């Protein structure tokens, strides 16, 4: 049973409306948005990653799910596995504390367990947010909506590849891999206007396909329009190969929003300096997922993102990390 | 750094009022009671435990925390580690589903990760409940309160000891260890009247001491009054040794309530058949924790319960499981 099969099995149980069909990486309960993501050593982070960055990332990936719903952070519960290595265990607590402080997220509970020394570390966080006036789901996109992306793509995947080449790698791309930023304020600004919204965690193409499927629409993405950082372009260039790498790498924690064509996000109260790009559209007909470049259709890459560990290990051998949704 | 030290460190971060000083195994947010407990193979369950019972227990131990606050279950988020052993992975999902169905607890989200084959399994559950008209904390007991216990003590610890002797052991005590019952309705009936309430998960004496400390009071417990099941008495007897075993064994998921002396819990709307016993009292003066038998003070046992893995491994060697709070 792989992760997808397990989620199918869980979906049969999770029939309550608050579960949103397990489609949204978050549940809606009494005006609160609730999400839980775990991260495991060897799956989502390296044994040699600094523990404070692991703690930071645990908080940020959960807040990114709240950002995708336009929610405001209210509280977090931490599930902490103590490995017996004091410096490491203190490091991850410090990283969680730093991220909570930075995002104004009160840590209000959780639990602490001691694991066997040498066992892979696993950590979890439950993040609770207050929903805004509207909570866009994945399934709400309408034919004719324009697809916008907040943030840049590929930085974390490029940083991960650098670490796989050389564990001593550093620089801005490694920093993005280790210390992602949750786009809470952009999410809150877009949510009242978005028909659908989600964070991009498993690769843009895979996540866009998920939005299209949930909304029973087709999605077309212009790979020339994908926003790339200067650090990414410096490391990988910006040709089609680089762009497809960025569109499938995952761990981006960008935001993907389907906005009606008459909404100009540049007129919304986005924080200054926000990178936002018009990258495609949603339509009633056509292939589920189409790519264009120079106005012409191009072929889909073999792998759209990282759906689960098994697929990732046996598919594209490059990045060993997956299921960051 | 052991679990207690980690919690001390986390307490410095968890300063928001909703955290309740990390004293209550639950947080209070917008009228909701939120708790998260993880269980790990080799720490909280045996590799040979039936996976469906592990799933059941994961749900029940979290609901027991809601019961201790008198809350009504609203939703759960599951953190599921897939081990690659399909029958096992399906078994735990089935156990979670059975418990959720039995308690009317909607599963609304969570996440699924694949762990390395052979790595110890770790599972987490976040349970969300709706607070009643009053939510008793651990810290609210008043001098003069009577200490009541709902449920029986020692069954799970006796079942655990039987499994440690022989992994093929079965019967009612093993069943209680593997499939505890969360006392939700008794908790809801007592909460409006209790000055303090909590579930007993780490051993009665340790948990009663925690309530007394949080309330800045002394607690005295009459070991002759501790409620024992007939299965327990059949296995262990009911002499002082057996009673102290029951009072320190843990994994009971009984409820401990401090009620004003004028409240008679037998007059409250407890479900028929509820076992409730008057086991002690809280006072302003005296030793933090005192035991009596036949009206005379008796010595405290060396170990009051299971505070954390390290202590447990180096203290009383009997039960290998701990920190079930």
The torsion angle over the Cα atoms of residues B322, B22, A49 and A155, rounded to 10 degrees, is 130
Contact criterion met (CB < 8 Å) for B109 and A78: no
**A93 at the B interface (CB within 8 A)?**
yes
* Cβ contact B230:B300 at 8 Å: no
Element (DSSP H or E) covering residue B111: strand B107-114
Which single residue is written with the structure tokens 């029951």? B246
Decide if A38 touches B, using CB distance below 8 A: yes
| Strands in chain A per DSSP E | 27-29, 32-40, 72-82, 107-114, 122-130, 146-150, 196-200, 218-222, 254-259, 276-283, 289-293, 296-298
What is the residue-averaged pLDDT of chain A?
92
Contact residues on chain A for B26, CB-CB shorter than 8 A: 109
User: Are A81 and B122 within 8 A, CB to CB?
Assistant: yes
A141 secondary structure, DSSP code: -
User: Low-confidence residues of chain B, pLDDT below 50?
Assistant: 308-325
Averages of pLDDT over each 10 residues, chain A, 325 residues? 88 91 91 94 90 97 98 96 92 96 94 86 96 96 98 97 95 96 97 98 96 97 98 98 97 97 94 95 96 96 70 33 42
CA B112 to chain A, closest CA, distance in angstroms equals 6
Optimal mutation site among B111, B202, B306, B309, interface A, most CBs of chain A within 10 A: B111
Alpha-carbon span A12 to A33, nearest angstrom: 21
Tens-digit pLDDT profile for residues A200-240: 999 999 999 999 999 999 999 999 999 999 999 999 999 99
Coil, strand or helix at B315: coil
A34 interaction partners in chain B (CB closer than 8 Å): 75, 77, 108-109, 126, 128
Cβ(B212)–Cβ(B283) below 8 Å: no
How far apart CA A122 and CA B185 sit, in angstroms, is: 34
Chain A interface mutation, best of B109, B127, B313, highest count of A Cβ atoms under 10 Å: B109
Number of residue pairs across A and B with CB atoms under 8 Å? Answer: 235
For chain A, positions 126-165, list CB contacts with chain B under 8 A.
Answer: 126, 128, 130
How close does chain B come to A138, measured CA to CA in Å?
A: 15
Query: Position of tokens 């949750």?
Result: A182
- Helix extents (H) in B44-144: 51-67, 86-103
Q: What is the pLDDT of residue B37?
A: 95
The whole-angstrom distance between residue B128's C-alpha and the CA centroid of its chain comes to: 17
Residues 56-85 of B with CB under 8 A from A: 74-75, 77-82
Length of chain A: 325
CB B78 to CB A16 under 8 A? no
Beta-carbon separation of B109 and A25 below 8 A: yes
**Residue A149: its pLDDT value, please?**
98
Q: Which residue ranges form the domains of chain B, and what is each CATH number?
A: 3-130 (3.30.1330.10), 138-305 (3.90.650.10)
Q: Are B254 and B115 in contact (CB under 8 A)?
A: no
Tens-digit pLDDT profile for residues B255-279: 999 999 999 999 999 999 999 999 9
Taking the Cβ of residue B287 and every Cβ of chain A, the question of whether any pair is shorter than 8 Å is answered with no
* pLDDT, position B189: 97
Please tell me which of the candidates A31, A113, A128 has its beta carbon nearest to residue B34.
A128
**C-alpha angle with apex A42: A312 to A66, nearest 5 degrees?**
75
Stretch 216-245 of chain B: residues touching chain A, C-beta under 8 Å: none
């Amino acid at each position: 049973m792989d992760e997808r099969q397990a989620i199918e099995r869980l979906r049969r149980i999770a029939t309550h409306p608050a579960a949103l069909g397990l489609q949204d990486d978050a549940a809606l309960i009494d005006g609160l948005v609730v999400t839980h993501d775990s991260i495991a050593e060897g799956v989502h982070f390296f044994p040699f990653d600094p523990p404070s960055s692991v703690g930071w990332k645990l908080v940020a990936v959960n807040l990114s799910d709240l950002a995708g719903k336009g929610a405001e952070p209210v509280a977090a519960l931490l599930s902490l596995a103590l490995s017996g290595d004091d410096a490491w265990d203190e490091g991850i607590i410090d990283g969680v504390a730093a991220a909570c402080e930075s995002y104004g997220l009160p840590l209000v509970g959780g639990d602490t367990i001691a694991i066997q020394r040498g066992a892979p570390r696993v950590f979890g966080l439950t993040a609770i947010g207050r929903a805004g006036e509207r909570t866009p789901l994945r399934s709400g996109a309408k034919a004719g909506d324009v697809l916008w992306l907040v943030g840049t793509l590929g930085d974390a995947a490029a940083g991960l590849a650098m670490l796989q080449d050389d564990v001593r790698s550093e620089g801005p791309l490694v920093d993005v891999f280790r210390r992602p930023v949750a786009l809470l304020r952009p999410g809150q600004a877009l949510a009242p206007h978005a028909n659908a919204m989600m964070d991009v965690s498993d690769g843009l193409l895979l996540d866009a396909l998920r939005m299209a499927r949930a909304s029973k629409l087709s999605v077309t993405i212009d790979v020339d329009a994908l926003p790339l950082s200067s650090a990414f372009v410096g490391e990988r260039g910006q040709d089609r190969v680089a762009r497809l790498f960025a569109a499938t790498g995952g761990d981006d924690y960008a935001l993907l929003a389907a906005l009606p064509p008459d909404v100009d996000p540049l007129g919304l109260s986005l924080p200054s300096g926000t990178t936002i790009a018009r990258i495609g559209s949603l339509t009633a007909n056509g292939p589920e997922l189409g790519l264009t470049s120079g106005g012409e259709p191009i072929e889909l890459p073999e792998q759209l993102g990282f759906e689960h560990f098994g697929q990732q290990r046996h598919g594209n051998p490059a990045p060993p990390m997956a299921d960051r949704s």
